[in-house]
């Protein structure tokens, strides 16, 4: 990605070109003054005004721009560039604009002094000052992105693929232009053509100075509104959107009134305290003061205000977490809070795993993953790492323990590092892990042996773990994804995907299909793009072409079971819409025989019921509405509740099974809108029979899990424990299920004590 004409290369080149522009401006001022001195007695030979120096500097930089662009274009011979036109846009917005700002500073620096070193110092002073301000904002303010006149735009977390030139960036560069124009007009107003300060000619002086001051005033006004325009964010600006505060013993939780978070803030705050309690017991140390937790309504709001969309963020030196609202219990809260806890073990400035010049990103992310491991269906964290090893995609620890962590895909790096650290914690204790975090990975000093020997023992441990083939297959697609740095089309693909989604929601299916066809062209090896294209065609009612695209996707090389199951599911949906229930049943059964997640398996099982009992097909298709993106989320919830009610009351040939499925789906929808007492009644009804009428083990397990969740949030701790016991005794649980049940046991115990305080 850094060698491709696009975001990363522009981010790297922008400060370099800014410095070169400053130097060019200084040297052009010196050259112009030398010419003026040598021709002082011949006014006719004098060069033009200050603008001539600017244009000569710009001409010099243009050669360097062409050199940089040429190198990146030549690189296309071995490094694919999916969007050279868009890449040029990044280059103009980054290096070119930064060069112009640099030239302006160089000229002003050249005018301030006589000696070249002093001129260069003066020219580079704004660059250094602006960089310092940007770093201080990243350190103190609640932002993970930065707009800077010399660096351009730093978007934030590098794993976030949704990076595009948006209106904020355009506005920011317009704001930079205000100051460039203001400074240029001011200089031309007070300096003569020989570029030496002297009494200015009254002619044009007042006009130029007035315009310069007006532009400076406008620029100052824009600066004061930086948080409103999205150029930065402050605690005050966040609190305008997240104006409600819940204060607990260890947290200050900020959220929006009348939001989903507001409606269940008691459970959310208790979960925060539960996470604190677990981490404190593991590490024996906790942050000194309250941790601030900002919970945004959506990833879209979080990207706009904070700069991070998909990735959740916690910055230990700030003692703050930035989360999106997710279903209870929040799946990454414990991981993000672990970052805050580890701040007291890390370096004194950032609280990270830094020692001297050594930065260990593998520990920065691996230790929180180990302290708050998450399951994946049947698999716990060690099982997932064992699958990674079985698939021969496990990165070596020497490549992960350092900055090389970012060169790996996030799924591989987090899983491998987390499992390795968890193994170290279980075999050598949490104290050693904390010590290792503090010295940034000095394994010899901490464990008395080197990293290779420890890794070998860990791999031996992984290879001794039994794995089911279908679980290996279910993880294949997750671990196949490459790092953003190794996907030259990642940002372009994300932009096209977002454009297609927006077009589909607006009903502009032709535009959506065009964007998806472009996606298929730039990344022809990715099955997901063809599946998305087939989905859009089906939404338009073009089921025949959609079926053909799905068949073509299945025939592509090296498809994973996850993707083949998605193809089977869509083929089944197309067949069920066409009334071909036998064909739909065949496709759903094919998908169920593949290695897929439990949640996907449950969906296929319910759809299979519709193919087996055609009288249920309309209600099941209505509930899932697989080819409808026009319905608003609120309307979709109402529709799903309607069709779930139909399934609960109209059973066709299998009234008992249909009623149970309908009640289970009704309970799911009621949980979404936090109607917990009625959700409990629906789940209890779905599970009421001695021989449960929910047709599959996965559906029965999910109903018990959701009922346990509801009972806990209603404060019925005895009932929640009973559901947990049923889950532990009645099902064939894998290591992942056992991990989840252990967490729920601790959660129920903590909540029951917390409520009594």
Q: What is the DSSP string of 679-704?
A: HHHHHHHHT-SSS--SSSHHHHHHHH
119-167: pLDDT as tens digits: 999 999 999 999 999 999 989 988 888 999 999 998 877 766 777 788 8
- Please choose, from the candidates 257, 417, 246, 436, the residue with its C-alpha nearest in 3D space to the C-alpha of residue 342: 436
Crossing angle (nearest 10°) for helices 430-438 and 410-428: 130
218 and 259 housed in the same domain: no
pLDDT at residue number 98: 96
Kindly state the average pLDDT of the residues 65-80. 85
Cα 488 to Cα 79, 324, 410, 560, 708, distances in angstroms: 8, 28, 16, 22, 45
Residues contacting residue 171 through CB under 8 Å, at least 6 positions apart: 229, 230, 231
181 and 300 housed in the same domain: no
Q: Is it the case that residue 45 has pLDDT exceeding 90?
A: no
pLDDT at residue number 523: 84
The domain boundary residue, chosen from 344, 360, 391 = 344
282 and 304 housed in the same domain: yes
pLDDT at residue number 196: 57
The domain boundary residue, chosen from 209, 229, 249 = 229
pLDDT at residue number 387: 96
Q: What does R_g of the chain's alpha carbons equal in angstroms?
A: 30
Q: Is residue 551 a part of any domain in this protein? A: no
CA distance 506 to 247: 41
- Please choose, from the candidates 395, 394, 404, 423, the residue with its C-alpha nearest in 3D space to the C-alpha of residue 362: 404
Question: Which two three-digit tokens encode residue 274?
Answer: 């539960």
- Please choose, from the candidates 492, 519, 412, 477, the residue with its C-alpha nearest in 3D space to the C-alpha of residue 162: 492
176-199: pLDDT as tens digits: 999 999 988 887 776 655 555 554
Q: Is residue 314 a part of any domain in this protein? A: yes
Helix (H/G/I), strand (E/B), else coil: 244: strand
Kindly state the average pLDDT of the residues 80-86. 79
Q: Is it the case that residue 13 has pLDDT exceeding 70?
A: yes
Whether this model's pTM surpasses 0.85:
yes
pLDDT at residue number 41: 43
pLDDT at residue number 43: 42
Q: Which of 248-257, 276-285, 467-476, 517-526 has the lowest mean pLDDT?
A: 517-526
pLDDT at residue number 552: 93
Q: Is it the case that residue 101 has pLDDT exceeding 50?
A: yes
User: How does residue 309 score in pLDDT terms, banded at 50, 70 and 90?
Assistant: low
Domain enclosing residue 184, as ranges: 7-229
Kindly state the average pLDDT of the residues 76-94. 84
203 and 239 housed in the same domain: no
**DSSP strand E in 54-186: where?**
146-148, 152-154
Q: Is residue 494 a part of any domain in this protein? A: no
The answer to whether the beta carbons of residues 104 and 180 sit under 8 Å apart is: yes
141 and 154 housed in the same domain: yes
| Neighbour count for residue 499 (Cβ, 10 Å) | 18
Question: Which two three-digit tokens encode residue 738?
Answer: 């056992």
Cα 634 to Cα 251, 299, 620, 673, distances in angstroms: 32, 18, 19, 10
Residues contacting residue 510 through CB under 8 Å, at least 6 positions apart: none
Q: Is residue 382 a part of any domain in this protein? A: no
677 and 715 housed in the same domain: yes
DSSP state of 716: -
pLDDT at residue number 611: 92
Cα-Cα-Cα-Cα dihedral sign, residues 470, 474, 479, 482: positive
pLDDT at residue number 120: 93
Q: Residues of the chain with pLDDT > 70: what percent?
A: 92
CA distance 638 to 501: 22
Q: Which of 203-212, 251-260, 561-570 has the lowest mean pLDDT?
A: 203-212
Considering only the C-alpha atoms of the chain, give the largest distance between any 2 of them, rounded to a whole number of Å. Answer: 110
pLDDT at residue number 636: 84
Pairing of strands 251-255, 291-296: parallel
pLDDT at residue number 173: 94
115 and 130 housed in the same domain: yes
The answer to whether the beta carbons of residues 29 and 52 sit under 8 Å apart is: no
CA distance 279 to 338: 7
223 and 315 housed in the same domain: no
147 and 222 housed in the same domain: yes
pLDDT at residue number 46: 42
- Please choose, from the candidates 655, 670, 663, the residue with its C-alpha nearest in 3D space to the C-alpha of residue 703: 663
Considering its fold, how many domains does the chain have in total? 3
171 and 299 housed in the same domain: no
Kindly state the average pLDDT of the residues 274-284. 94
The chain-wide mean pLDDT, for the chain, equals: 88
Per-range mean pLDDT, top range of 123-132, 528-537, 551-560: 123-132
Q: Is it the case that residue 512 has pLDDT exceeding 70?
A: yes
The answer to whether the beta carbons of residues 755 and 716 sit under 8 Å apart is: no
Q: Is it the case that residue 38 has pLDDT exceeding 70?
A: no
Q: Is it the case that residue 672 has pLDDT exceeding 80?
A: yes
Q: Which alpha helices (DSSP H) does 242-380 contain, by range?
A: 260-263, 265-283, 299-305, 333-342, 361-371
- Please choose, from the candidates 402, 454, 382, the residue with its C-alpha nearest in 3D space to the C-alpha of residue 424: 454
The answer to whether the beta carbons of residues 325 and 260 sit under 8 Å apart is: yes
Q: Is residue 472 a part of any domain in this protein? A: no
Q: CATH number, domain at 308?
A: 3.40.30.160
Torsions phi, psi of 321, nearest 5? -125, 145
Q: Is it the case that residue 538 has pLDDT exceeding 60?
A: yes
100 and 36 housed in the same domain: yes
Q: Is residue 36 a part of any domain in this protein? A: yes
CA distance 686 to 659: 7
Tell which wins on pLDDT, 78 or 508: 508
686-721: pLDDT as tens digits: 998 655 678 899 999 999 999 999 999 999 999 999
Kindly state the average pLDDT of the residues 444-451. 94
Q: Which of 200-209, 272-281, 648-657 has the lowest mean pLDDT?
A: 648-657
Question: Which two three-digit tokens encode residue 514?
Answer: 């065009």
pLDDT at residue number 341: 95
The domain boundary residue, chosen from 229, 258, 281 = 229
Residues contacting residue 50 through CB under 8 Å, at least 6 positions apart: 107, 184, 187, 188, 191, 193, 195
Q: Residues of the chain with pLDDT > 90: what percent?
A: 58
CA distance 246 to 443: 41
pLDDT at residue number 47: 42
CA distance 127 to 441: 34
DSSP state of 486: G
- Please choose, from the candidates 178, 157, 191, the residue with its C-alpha nearest in 3D space to the C-alpha of residue 302: 157
Question: Which two three-digit tokens encode residue 232?
Answer: 């930065």
Helix (H/G/I), strand (E/B), else coil: 623: helix
CA distance 531 to 537: 10
Q: CATH number, domain at 654?
A: 1.25.40
Q: Is residue 549 a part of any domain in this protein? A: no
Q: Is residue 710 a part of any domain in this protein? A: yes
pLDDT at residue number 656: 66
Tell which wins on pLDDT, 18 or 636: 18
216 and 244 housed in the same domain: no
- Please choose, from the candidates 312, 138, 314, 324, the residue with its C-alpha nearest in 3D space to the C-alpha of residue 234: 138
Kindly state the average pLDDT of the residues 534-547. 90
Q: Is it the case that residue 380 has pLDDT exceeding 60?
A: yes
Cα-Cα-Cα-Cα dihedral sign, residues 77, 80, 86, 91: negative
């Amino acid at each position: 990605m850094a060698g491709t004409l696009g975001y990363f290369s522009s981010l790297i080149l922008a400060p370099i070109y800014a410095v070169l522009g400053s130097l060019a401006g200084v040297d052009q001022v010196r050259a112009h003054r030398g010419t003026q001195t040598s021709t002082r007695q011949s006014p006719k030979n004098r060069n033009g005004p200050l603008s001539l120096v600017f244009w000569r500097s710009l001409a010099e930089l243009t050669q360097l721009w062409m050199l940089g662009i040429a190198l990146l274009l030549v690189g296309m011979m071995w490094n694919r560039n999916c969007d050279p036109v868009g890449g040029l846009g990044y280059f103009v917005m980054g290096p070119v604009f930064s060069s112009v700002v640099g030239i302006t500073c160089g000229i002003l620096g050249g005018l301030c002094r006589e000696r070249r070193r002093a001129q260069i110092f003066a020219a580079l002073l704004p660059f250094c000052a602006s960089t310092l301000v940007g770093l201080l904002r990243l350190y103190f303010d609640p932002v993970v992105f930065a707009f800077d006149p010399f660096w351009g735009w730093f978007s934030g977390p590098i794993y976030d693929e949704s990076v595009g030139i948006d209106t904020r960036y355009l506005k920011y560069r317009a704001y930079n232009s205000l100051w460039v124009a203001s400074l240029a007009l001011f200089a031309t107003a007070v300096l003569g053509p020989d570029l030496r300060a002297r009494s200015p000619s009254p002619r044009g002086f007042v006009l130029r100075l007035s315009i310069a001051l007006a532009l400076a005033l406008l620029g100052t006004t824009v600066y004061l509104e930086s948080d409103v325009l999205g150029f930065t964010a402050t605690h005050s600006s966040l609190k305008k959107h997240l104006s409600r505060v819940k204060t607990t013993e260890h947290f200050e939780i900020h959220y929006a009134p009348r939001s989903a978070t507001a409606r269940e803030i008691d459970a959310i705050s208790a979960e925060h305290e539960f996470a604190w309690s677990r981490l404190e017991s593991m590490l024996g140390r906790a942050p000194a003061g309250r941790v601030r937790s900002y919970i945004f309504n959506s990833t879209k709001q979080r990207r706009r205000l904070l700069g991070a969309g998909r990735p959740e963020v916690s910055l230990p030196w700030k003692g703050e977490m930035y989360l999106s609202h997710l279903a209870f219990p929040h799946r990454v809260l414990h991981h993000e809070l672990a970052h805050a806890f580890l701040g007291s073990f890390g370096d004194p400035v950032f609280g990270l795993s830094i020692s001297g010049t050594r930065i260990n990103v593998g520990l920065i992310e691996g230790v929180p993953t180990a302290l708050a491991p998450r399951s994946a269906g049947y698999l716990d964290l060690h099982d997932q790492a064992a699958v990674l090893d079985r698939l021969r995609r496990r990165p070596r620890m020497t490549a992960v323990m350092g900055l090389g962590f970012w060169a790996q895909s996030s799924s591989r790096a987090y899983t491998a590092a987390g499992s390795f650290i968890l193994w170290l914690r279980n075999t050598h204790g949490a104290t050693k892990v904390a010590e290792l975090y503090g010295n940034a990975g000095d394994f010899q000093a901490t464990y008395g042996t080197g990293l290779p020997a420890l890794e070998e023992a860990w791999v031996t441990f992984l290879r001794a773990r039994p794995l089911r083939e279908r679980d290996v297959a279910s993880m294949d697609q997750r671990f196949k994804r490459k790092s953003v740095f190794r996907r030259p089309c990642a940002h372009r693909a994300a932009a096209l995907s977002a454009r297609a989604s927006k077009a589909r929601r607006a009903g502009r299916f032709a535009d959506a299909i065009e964007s998806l066809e472009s996606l298929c062209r730039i990344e022809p090896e990715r099955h997901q793009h063809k599946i998305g294209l087939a989905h859009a065609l089906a939404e338009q009612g073009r089921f025949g072409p959609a079926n053909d695209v799905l068949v073509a996707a299945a025939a592509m090389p090296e498809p994973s079971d996850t993707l083949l199951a998605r193809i089977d599911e869509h083929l089944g949906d197309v067949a069920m819409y066409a009334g071909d229930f036998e064909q739909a049943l065949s496709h759903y059964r094919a998908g169920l025989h593949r290695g897929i997640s439990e949640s996907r398996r449950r969906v296929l099982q319910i759809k299979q019921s519709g193919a087996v009992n055609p009288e249920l097909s309309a209600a099941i298709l209505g509930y899932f509405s697989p080819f409808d993106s026009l319905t608003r989320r609120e309307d979709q919830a109402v529709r799903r509740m309607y069709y779930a009610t139909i399934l609960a009351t109209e059973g066709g040939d299998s009234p008992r099974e249909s009623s149970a499925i309908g009640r289970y789906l009704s309970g799911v929808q009621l949980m979404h809108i936090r109607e917990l007492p009625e959700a409990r009644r629906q789940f209890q009804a779905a599970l009421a029979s001695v021989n449960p009428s929910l047709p599959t083990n996965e559906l029965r397990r999910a109903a018990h899990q959701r009922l346990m969740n509801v009972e806990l949030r209603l404060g019925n701790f005895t009932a929640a424990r009973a559901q947990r016991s049923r889950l532990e005794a009645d099902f064939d649980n894998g290591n992942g299920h056992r991990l989840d049940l252990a967490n729920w046991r601790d959660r129920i115990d903590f909540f029951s004590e917390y409520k009594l305080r």
